[in-house]
């Protein structure tokens, strides 16, 4: 049983725990929340979806029972949340946690989610009726991301310089804003005063160690039934074209189930693509090195983290 948890001031600053996939954020954040009387707000775009448990390394029922978690299992794979919806829900959850005298922890590796909350992004509006986005999604399915990236370079070259043109979701979003507002996506994405005082720590490991953990995690997912999980999602009529079904693990297993590669090849692709994703995550947080205090995940203790997060 965890020790009796302190009740904190409603003005408790937001604590943020970031780091790459497989570094050990989930286990550490739960221990930290237990020690500090906290509740965890997920900042992982893949944990939003019900039915996607194994491939997302979602916290187990036992882990979820140890401390309250927010923004996990809140939608279905065919109803993705745009960034403004996530931001609003995260801010509401944090305010609620503070109002109850608890310590809010924002935990995850989706850099866009973290920064939208911590930096107070004023996110430009999208397509209220969804017609522009639906057309762009159809174009994406038919022509691929390369054609949409070329279109973005034409209508919004400034955003094309800043957006990851390999990421279909980012390209579609930038085009959606440019086409519905007539302006540049990156020019409209302003920052307001952050809603909360925040203190951030990052967990890291030497890259070879992290890659070994990635490989071990993928093998564990296969043993836990990742293939069956993807089959079950497809049986519920969640199509391969959905953004959720293109997430790491699900996309590659989908390729196997469609006969496009062997299972062994799919597993190797998951491992390779996850390593690429780890490097991309590092780029997301690199500009924030001064805001984030980094610790070796194998050495940091909850006491050291509380001291770092509680420092003025």
Residue 154 belongs to domain with CATH number: 1.10.20.140
Check residue 111 and give its pLDDT: 87
Domain span at residue 134 reads: 124-188
**145 shares a domain with 28:** no
Residue with tokens 């221990």: 31
- Alpha-carbon distance of 214 to 209, in angstroms, equals 9
**249 shares a domain with 114:** yes
Confidence of residue 127 (pLDDT cuts 50, 70, 90): low
Of residues 195 and 50, more confidence is placed in 50
The stretch 234-245 carries a mean pLDDT of 93
Lowest mean pLDDT across 91-105, 110-124, 185-199, 263-277:
185-199
On whether residue 202 sits in a domain, the answer given is yes
On whether residue 184 sits in a domain, the answer given is yes
Closest by Cα among 71, 21, 15 to 43: 71
Retrieve residue 159's tokens: 């955003």
Residue with tokens 């780890």: 278
Residue 185 in this model has a pLDDT that exceeds 80: no
Confidence of residue 133 (pLDDT cuts 50, 70, 90): confident
Check residue 284 and give its pLDDT: 77
Boundary residue ending a domain (135, 169, 188):
188
- Alpha-carbon distance of 28 to 302, in angstroms, equals 8
**177 shares a domain with 140:** yes
The stretch 230-242 carries a mean pLDDT of 95
Check residue 167 and give its pLDDT: 82
Residue 128 in this model has a pLDDT that exceeds 70: no
Residue 5 in this model has a pLDDT that exceeds 90: no
Residue with tokens 């970031």: 18
The stretch 188-216 carries a mean pLDDT of 88
Highest-scoring range by mean pLDDT, 74-88, 185-199, 209-223: 209-223
The DSSP-derived string for the chain is: -PPPPPPPPTTPPEEEEE--TTSSHHHHHHHHHHHHTEEEEE--GGGGBTT--TTTTPPPHHHHHHS-EESSS-B-TTSPPPHHHHHHHHHHHHHHHHHTT-EEEEEES-HHHHHHHHTTEEPPP--TTSHHHHHHHHHHHHH-HHHHHHHHHHH-HHHHHHS-TT-HHHHHHHHHHHHHHSS-HHHH-EE---SS-EEEEEEE--HHHHHHHHHHHHHHHHHHTHHHHHHHHHHTT--TTSTGGGSTTHHHHHHHHTTSS-HHHHHHHHHHHHHHHHHHHHHHHGGGTTTEEEEETTT--HHHHHHHHH--
C-beta separation of 270 from 249 below 8 A: yes
Residue 289 in this model has a pLDDT that exceeds 90: no
The long-range contacts involving 215-219, CB below 8 angstroms and separated by at least 24 positions, are: 215/271, 217/22, 217/57, 218/249, 218/267, 218/270, 218/271, 218/274, 219/267
Residue 8 in this model has a pLDDT that exceeds 50: no
On whether residue 9 sits in a domain, the answer given is no
On whether residue 198 sits in a domain, the answer given is yes
**203 shares a domain with 142:** no
Boundary residue ending a domain (188, 205, 227):
188
**302 shares a domain with 183:** no
pLDDT in tens, 70-106: 999 999 999 998 888 999 999 999 999 999 999 999 9
The structural domain count of the chain equals: 2
The stretch 212-234 carries a mean pLDDT of 98
Check residue 4 and give its pLDDT: 40
The percent of residues in the chain predicted with pLDDT above 90, rounded, is 63
- Alpha-carbon distance of 291 to 288, in angstroms, equals 5
């Amino acid at each position: 049983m965890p020790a009796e948890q302190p009740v904190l001031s409603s003005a408790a600053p937001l604590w943020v725990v970031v780091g790459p996939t497989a570094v050990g954020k989930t286990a550490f954040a739960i221990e930290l929340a237990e020690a500090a009387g906290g509740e965890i707000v997920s900042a992982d775009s893949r944990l939003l979806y019900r039915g996607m448990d194994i491939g997302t390394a979602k916290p187990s029922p036992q882990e979820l029972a140890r401390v309250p978690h927010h923004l996990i299992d809140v939608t279905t794979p065919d109803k993705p949340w745009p960034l403004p919806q996530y931001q609003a829900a995260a801010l509401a959850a944090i305010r609620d946690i503070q109002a109850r005298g608890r310590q809010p922890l924002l935990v995850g590796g989706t850099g866009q989610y973290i920064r939208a909350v911590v930096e107070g992004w004023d996110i430009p509006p999208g397509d209220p009726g969804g017609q522009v986005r639906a057309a762009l999604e159809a174009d994406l399915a038919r022509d691929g991301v390369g054609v949409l990236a070329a279109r973005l370079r034409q209508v919004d070259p400034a955003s094309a310089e800043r957006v990851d043109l390999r990421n279909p979701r980012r390209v579609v979003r930038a085009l959606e804003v440019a086409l519905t507002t007539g302006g540049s996506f990156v020019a409209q994405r302003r920052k307001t005063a952050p809603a909360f005082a925040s203190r951030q720590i990052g967990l890291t490991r030497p890259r070879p160690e992290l890659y070994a953990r990635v490989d071990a995690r993928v093998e564990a997912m296969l043993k836990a039934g990742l293939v069956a999980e993807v089959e079950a999602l497809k049986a519920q009529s969640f199509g391969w074209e959905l953004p959720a079904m293109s997430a790491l693990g699900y996309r590659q297993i989908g390729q196997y189930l469609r006969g496009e590669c062997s299972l062994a090849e799919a597993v190797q692709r998951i491992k390779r693509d996850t390593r690429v994703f780890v490097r991309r995550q590092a780029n997301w947080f690199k500009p924030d090195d001064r805001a984030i205090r980094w610790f070796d995940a194998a050495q940091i203790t909850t006491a050291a983290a509380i001291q770092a997060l509680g420092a003025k």
